[in-house]
Chains A and B, each alone.
Chain A
């Protein structure tokens, strides 16, 4: 099992090197690139100064040398300076932006996957009854609606008309004027709490699967989740560390609601439609008929026999869904001015900040690949065939 994961990770790494090479060839090494244009064709810079700058940046060296030094610097974490925020190194900006996007990304990935799967399960089970057409049309609408437009309509309705959530940005500057913490610190705390909570909940769920007695299992799960909730309440309200940061964390979370809802709504329809067709295929299998003939409850047949088999193709599609969610994240961050990686990518591209753009793009690629790897590992847990043949 470890060997399988290691092999997939190695494959990912090779893919990433290829990806980085392509990025380099495309953006840096192309004749007439942005940096050269900046110096060579700018009449305000004397030719000697332009030559000096090109020499200092190493652009006169052969391509191979440029490539090796680029790769070496990349893996050391040195992405050069940003042009837009001049003296700041790019790695500094990336470190500031990355957690904000990760929080958004992970929340959405979990929420929409669960939501889409559960909804698809119910719709497939209710096939042919009333309301099915409406739900299908609604999900097709969500799947194909023009995303920025939909996001703007949601802003208008929820943030402007109903005024229940903030319009944009990720914090309210007035509340943060005399804050004793930096926003990134609070953000890392939120991230940590979410990560620990998620891992604990997942472990609890996996462990509870081993309990045979259904009544005991249900009780264990609920007691466990209750304990988790109690710990959360204790952390945010009673502990010194948490309660000092509660208001600020609450402000950030309040700003997070609308972006998360938007990406979730947009992307969950795809998973739902897929779950539906996957369930419909599973429901024709003989073992479903057997399960029903045995006299099992409808709920058991649906959840235990049909849904679990239907889960596999849906999980495979998560690989593509990771890319979809990242794309959705870029649009959402731009529309909502959420200062994360997607917005960084967009502003750096518009501001012709090549170093920043390349680094942001590479990190988006890293996110996609790590997501892919996680889905692979998840899939391995779900499908024993891969565990066996992967060895």
Chain B
């Protein structure tokens, strides 16, 4: 961040006012600059859009489920506001110059939108039917399938053997050529269930939304813990040197070298993992592992800068120099690794719940495990709503964070840019 500011002071940061004001201006200028650089990367924007999409999915679930609660509404507002503002800001055209008008207008439009969403969708899903774990669709649609000798299209025909399982509405057995009327789960997409239901009659879309909540919770906690440990360890190791440095770096080597999945699998034999346990564990492992090494090398580069020496000469203690001067300058890089940590965390969680080792009730990995366990994977396209959405969600969200990370990498490392 500081590099960029030195390179191109686009905004006038030395306005009148207190030190805090100058600092705020500096941060704002840096953020604007970085955003402008980030915005040129189309792939990064696509990643950001995917993340926002999944975040909306996670946030709208409680709204849909049981009526608007004030905190989910507030969270939705906070999240949706910049997005809506970004869209309607240019539309407001000439009014843009009048800050006094634009700001309340944007807030007003967003609030109106929110009220509209709440009024339309608030609580349309009753918990008995749409709950992601214990819900059940009591009235699946009626399907008509003809009894034939050789089945060519399993969606409209059934074999004589399969017909033994069903009977006519009057109780007589089904014969060749009869048309069976059956209600069965899983059903494909229709009006009540946009993505169909699973074999237990639960709504797939609702499950996906619940899974998104878990993925975000996990990713955020894991990333925050990673950054907390990695910046501290990296800065302390680089600044102190000596045995502290070698201890932490050997530890990082060990953690980097070991296959993380094997560690989680073995630990799940002893502990009962819940989502946030896993999140903290992933954060600790990557915070003391690979990310610490990268941040340490960055901190070494910061350590030799003149302002560190100035701070030390003017009497700053070790802790103060590390906390006030080293860590803030390592931060931008650590944000980058936050993104990569989120990718890894989402995939680890999905894999572990796919293997059935996590103590959670709903996640994307669990949905795939269910589809696989009951043999829907080998049916190919016929039950696509069981096979594709969950896997696509894991892959898309992981890819989105990875793409945003790559785009941020180009912002932070000027060497990677095209020109």
Contacts and interface: CB of A to CB of B under 8 A. Distances in A.
Interface of A: 15, 18-19, 23, 26-27, 30, 33-34, 137, 140-141, 143-150, 152-153, 155-156, 160-161, 277, 280-281, 319-320, 322-324, 326-327, 330-331, 334, 342, 345-346, 348-350, 352, 354, 357-358, 361, 364-365, 368-369, 372
Interface stretch (B64-72, B305-313, B348-356): B348-356
Contacts of A342: 262
Name, among A33, A137, A144, A322, the residue most crowded by chain B CB atoms within 10 Å (CB to CB): A144
Contacts of A15: 250, 253-254, 257
Nearest to B368: A149
B265 A141 contact: no
Nearest to B415: A281
Given A140-B403, A141-B395, A143-B402, A319 B256 contact: yes
A342 B257 CA distance: 17
Interface string B378-398: 101000000100110011001
Contacts of A334: 355
25 contacts: A26-B270, A27-B266, A27-B270, A140-B402, A141-B395, A144-B347, A146-B398, A148-B368, A149-B368, A152-B368, A155-B378, A277-B416, A281-B415, A322-B257, A326-B262, A331-B261, A331-B351, A345-B265, A349-B265, A349-B266, A349-B268, A349-B357, A350-B357, A358-B266, A369-B257
Nearest to B416: A277
A368 B368 contact: no
A63 to B, nearest CB: 17
B21 interface: no
B124 interface: no
Contact of B347 (A146, A153, A161, A350): A146
B22 to A, nearest CB: 36
B269 interface: yes
Interface string B344-371: 0001001100111100000011001000
A104 B215 CA distance: 32
A368 B395 contact: no
B354 A156 contact: no
B43 to A, nearest CB: 8
B259 interface: yes
Contacts of B192: none
Interface residues of B, number: 46
Contact of B399 (A141, A147, A319): A141
Contacts of A354: 269
B395 A149 contact: yes
B270 A160 contact: no
B287 to A, nearest CB: 16
B265 A146 contact: no
A361 B350 CA distance: 21
B372 interface: yes
A323 B347 contact: no
B394 A146 contact: yes
Interface in B264-284: 265-270
B269 A349 contact: yes
A313 to B, nearest CB: 13
Contacts of A160: 378, 380
Nearest to B254: A15
A156 B377 contact: yes
A280 B416 CA distance: 8
B141 to A, nearest CB: 27
A141 B396 CA distance: 8
Contacts of A150: 391, 395
Name, among B259, B355, B390, B403, the residue most crowded by chain A CB atoms within 10 Å (CB to CB): B259
A330 B265 contact: yes
A145 B354 contact: no
Given A140-B402, A144-B398, A19 B347 contact: no
A361 B262 CA distance: 7
A127 B254 CA distance: 37
B355 A346 contact: yes
Given A322-B257, A365-B262, 20 more contacts: A15-B253, A19-B254, A19-B258, A26-B270, A34-B270, A137-B43, A143-B402, A148-B351, A152-B368, A323-B256, A323-B257, A323-B258, A327-B261, A346-B265, A349-B268, A350-B357, A354-B269, A368-B259, A369-B257, A372-B257
A111 B284 CA distance: 32
A320 B261 contact: no
Please classify the interface of chain A as helix (H, G, I), strand (E, B), loop, or mixed, using the class held by over half of its residues. helix
A19 B257 CA distance: 11
A365 B258 CA distance: 6
Please classify the interface of chain B as helix (H, G, I), strand (E, B), loop, or mixed, using the class held by over half of its residues. helix
A287 to B, nearest CB: 17
A166 B377 CA distance: 16
A18 B372 CA distance: 39
B211 to A, nearest CB: 12
A330 B262 contact: yes
Contacts of B347: 144, 146-147
Contacts of A143: 399, 402
Name, among B250, B270, B347, B398, the residue most crowded by chain A CB atoms within 10 Å (CB to CB): B270
Nearest to B348: A327
A349 B261 CA distance: 13
Report the 6 A-B pairs with minimum CB-CB distance, sorted nearest first.
A149-B391, A146-B394, A326-B259, A144-B399, A327-B261, A349-B269
A101 to B, nearest CB: 12
Given A145-B395, A155-B377, A320-B256, A330 B261 contact: yes
Contact of A26 (B259, B267, B355, B377): B267
Given A26-B267, A148-B368, A152-B377, A140 B399 contact: yes
Contacts of B372: 148, 152
Contacts of B395: 141, 144-146, 149-150
B290 interface: yes
A147 B354 CA distance: 10
Nearest to A273: B406
B269 A357 contact: yes
A327 B258 CA distance: 9
B153 to A, nearest CB: 17
A156 B387 CA distance: 11
B257 A364 contact: no
A23 B350 CA distance: 25
B258 A368 contact: yes
A349 B269 CA distance: 5
Nearest to A141: B399
Given A146-B350, A364-B262, A156 B378 contact: yes
A323 B250 CA distance: 16
B136 interface: no
Given A148-B354, A149-B391, A349-B266, A330 B368 contact: no
A357 B263 CA distance: 11
B298 interface: no
A322 B290 CA distance: 14
A354 B266 CA distance: 9
Nearest to B46: A137
A232 to B, nearest CB: 33
B33 interface: no
B266 A361 contact: yes
Contacts of A140: 399, 402-403, 406
Contacts of B290: 320
Nearest to B394: A146
